[in-house]
Amino acid sequence: MSKFSKKRGKASPAISTASLPDIIFMLLFFFMVVTVLRESELLVQVNTPQATELTKLEEKSLVNYIYIGRPTAKYVDIYGTSPRIQLADKFASEADIPLFIANFRQGVPENRRSSITSSLRVDGEVTMGIVQDVKTALRKAGQVKVNYSAKKRAGDL
Amino acid sequence: MARTRTRDRMNNEVNAGSMADIAFLLLIFFLVTTTILEDKGILVRLPPWSDEEPDIAKLKTRNVYSVLVNAQNQLLVRGEPKEVRDLREDTKEFILNPQRRDDLSESPRKAIISLKNDRGTSYETYLEVYNELRAAYSEIWDEQSNRQYGMDYESLPIANKRALRADFPLIISEAEPTNFGEE
């Protein structure tokens, strides 16, 4: 009995908040590290279609992106409204793809080059013609691992 | 007097109480701007480039499941119009051929899917169709894996996955599109 009462009498110190900043900083650093500030500004509108058979792309450093879509409102005056290809942060044509792929390969260690993936981020409204041209260009450039970027579809068709 | 007062103040500790607030502010900023950008999609391996078209005419017609998607986004499957939503079941029936019909594939190993589209086909439809064909195969793999090993395809060891994929190979042959409806 006496033991209990003693304990209760003694303790009610305020919880020290001194370590709170440290905890918050830890969270902060976590978010700073995982944050990817958009790697390239989009010049074309891309609204990827939905699909169910999705795979997640694992290594970011082995993925290059090819965007296809209609130019955004800002660029309609210069580039018109027909679908365009965007490589890195410039408008391009399929003739630029081999160079783009070759440049990307340069930056990847030799033993990893076979697992380079090209992610095609294509707007759903675009017709297959331009996509086909890009695919042909990729095949000619020897880049056969391709990802059709898509969003998760929840329900049935 | 004044001097001692300042000195006294210097000895005070910096108040760290607001540190948490500052950190919170930064935290919230990063929370808001973070888009944990994850890229998902349908991973495919394109055939390496060769100047000749692959010749599927040599194959028996019963083993080829031809899917045509035209510029109006309509489907023609083995000569008959079809809806995308029926494609998955139909493909599965073609591959497995449970009733041993003689117009469906001889065996899953010999089954080939031939996909052809117009240049005017919308990408969305193309991907939908491609997705359904993929889905048909992954459903087959799942069913077979459950039957043979009693677990889902995803949780199988790699060797078993390979064996299963060799028995039910996913072959989608894509022909050069025809020049219809290009904008």
Q: Residue A150 and residue B47: Cβ atoms within 8 Å?
A: no
pLDDT tens, residue by residue, A30-83: 877 777 666 667 889 989 899 998 888 888 788 888 999 999 988 888 888 889
Residue range B139-158: mean pLDDT, rounded:
89
Nearest chain B residue to A144, by CA: B46
Substitution target from B68, B123, B124, B141 for chain A, most A beta carbons within 10 A: B123
Domain at A44-151, CATH class: alpha beta
Closest among B173, B105, B109, B104 to B144, alpha carbons compared: B109
For chain B, what is the domain count? 1
Closest CA to A24 of B170, B110, B75, B24: B24
* A19 contacts on B by Cβ (under 8 Å): none
CA angle A21, A25, A28 (to 5 degrees): 140
Instruction: Note whether A128 and B125 are within 8 A (CB).
Output: no
- Does B158 reside within a domain? yes
Q: Do A150 and B183 touch (CB under 8 A)?
A: no
DSSP labels for B73-117?
Answer: S-EEETTEEE-HHHHHHHHHHHHH-TT--TTS-S-TTT-EEEEEE
Give the model's pLDDT for residue B51: 74
- All residues of chain B having their beta carbon less than 8 Å from the beta carbon of residue A32 are 30
**Is B18 within the bounds of a domain?**
no
Is B68 within a domain? yes
Mean pLDDT of chain B: 83
Task: Write out chain A residues lying below 8 Å of B19, CB-based.
Answer: 21
Over range B96-119, report the average pLDDT: 87
Query: Are A131 and B126 a contacting pair at CB < 8 A?
Result: yes
Evaluate whether residue B38 is within a structural domain. no
Rounded-to-integer distance, Cα B132 and Cα B145, Å: 20
| B176: Cα within 13 Å, side-chain hemisphere | 11
3-state secondary structure of B153: helix
A86 within 8 A of A67, measured Cβ to Cβ: yes
Contact A123 B123 (CB under 8 A): yes
Q: Which of B24, B36, B43 to mutate to test the interface with A (most CBs of A within 10 A)?
A: B43
Q: Residue A114: count other Cβ atoms within 10 Å of its Cβ.
A: 10
Structural tokens at position A75: 């660029």
Instruction: Determine, for residues B40 and A27 on separate chains, whether the beta-carbon distance falls below 8 Å.
Output: no
**Burial, B95: exposed, middle or buried (Cβ in 10 Å; 0-12, 13-18, 19+)?**
buried
Taking CB atoms and an 8 Å cutoff, what residues of chain B touch A156?
85
Higher-scoring residue by pLDDT: A102, A12:
A102
In a domain, B69, yes or no: yes
**pLDDT higher than threshold 50 for residue B2:** no
CA distance B20 to A21: 4
Structure tokens at B107: 């065996």
- Mean pLDDT value of segment B64-72: 89
> Between chains, do B123 and A122 touch, taking CB under 8 Å as contact?
yes
Residue B21 lies in a domain: no
pLDDT at B160 over 80: yes
Cα separation, B95 vs B137, whole angstroms: 9
Chain B partners within 8 Å of A123 (Cβ)? 123
B9 or B55, greater pLDDT: B55
Q: Domain limits at B135?
A: 61-174
Q: Among the listed ranges A51-55, B14-18, B90-94, B121-125, which one has the minimum average pLDDT value?
A: B14-18
B28: in domain: no
Q: Which residues of A touch B30 (CB under 8 A)?
A: 28, 31-32, 35
Residue B28: CB atoms within 10 Å: 12
Distances (CA, A) of A29 to A20, A34, B19, B27, B36: 14, 9, 15, 8, 15
What ipTM describes this predicted complex?
A: 0.75
Token output for B29? 């900023």
Q: Is residue B168 part of a domain?
A: yes
CA of residue A24 relative to chain centroid, distance: 27
CB-count burial class (<10 Å; 0-12, 13-18, 19+) for B128: buried
Reported as a single tens digit per residue, the pLDDT across B6-50 is 555 556 666 767 777 887 888 888 778 776 667 788 998 888 887
- The DSSP line for chain A is -HHHHHHHHH--PPPP-TTHHHHHHHHHHHHHHH----SS---EE----EESS-EE---GGGEEEEEEEEEPGGGHHHH-SS-EEEETTEEE-GGGHHHHHHHHHHTS-GGGGGG-EEEEEE-TTSBHHHHHHHHHHHHHTT--EEEEE-EEP-S--
